[in-house]
Amino acid sequence: MSARAEKTGPGVTVVVTRWIRPGSEGEFERLSREFAEASRGQAGYRGTQVLRPVEGEQAGEYTLIVHFDSLEGRRAFKASAFYAEWMARFALHSMGEPVVRELRHLEGWEVLSGQAGPRWKMALVVWAGVFVTSQLLYAALAPWSAHWPRLLLGALVSGAVVAILTWLVLPVVTRWLRGWLQR
């Protein structure tokens, strides 16, 4: 991916799961709030959400969802001394290494990334993308697929639609419609 595509591409969401030492939960939550506040001045940073452990489930398991404006912004943030300092502070209250997952495109664009507005708008965009893409694929395959088993044709088209939406259509369309989606 070119640097230009990274700068103008969709935002990046990083999901970090940490297991907090028993008795350190309050301090970790305080640090999480301070981290979010201090990060506001960092280039590329959009915001942080903290998901606390669900009572009765994994005690001490916290998830931080950190939003960035681009892959380039995420990389710069991660390479900074600011980031290294905060990760060291979090590590003092954590058990083991955090699990870090970077989400882009279809994987993180709606629920986690904060890019989307109301779900009905995202549903409309996805429906339009699925409808147009699937109709184009069916039309393109029509000359060869008349005698193919219906299940095989459906599997091929649906698989192609998911791939095309994930890597081509939705990143471009959500960027074009960002203003409308976020209203």
Q: Domain ranges in the chain?
A: 3-107, 119-182
Per-position DSSP letters for 62-120, written without gaps between them: EEEEEEESSHHHHHHHHHSHHHHHHHHHHHTTEEEEEEEEEE-GGGTTTTTTS----HH
d(CA 109, CA 125): 12
The owner of tokens 């083991």 is: 96
Q: Are 10 and 175 a contacting pair, CB within 8 Å?
A: yes
Amino acid (one-letter) located at 148: W
Q: What is the mean pLDDT of residues 104-109?
A: 54
**Given this structure, which CATH class describes domain 3-107?**
alpha beta
The owner of tokens 């994994």 is: 58
pLDDT of residue 157: 92
Q: Are 45 and 64 a contacting pair, CB within 8 Å?
A: no
Other Cβ atoms within 10 Å of 22 Cβ, number = 9
* Range in 35-39, 48-52, 154-158 the model is least confident about: 48-52
**pTM higher than 0.85:** no
d(CA 159, CA 130): 11
Per-position DSSP letters for 65-78, written without gaps between them: EEEESSHHHHHHHH
Q: Give residue-wise pLDDT tens across range 56-79.
A: 566 788 888 888 888 888 999 999
Residue 4 predicted with pLDDT over 60 = no
Length of the chain measured in residues: 183
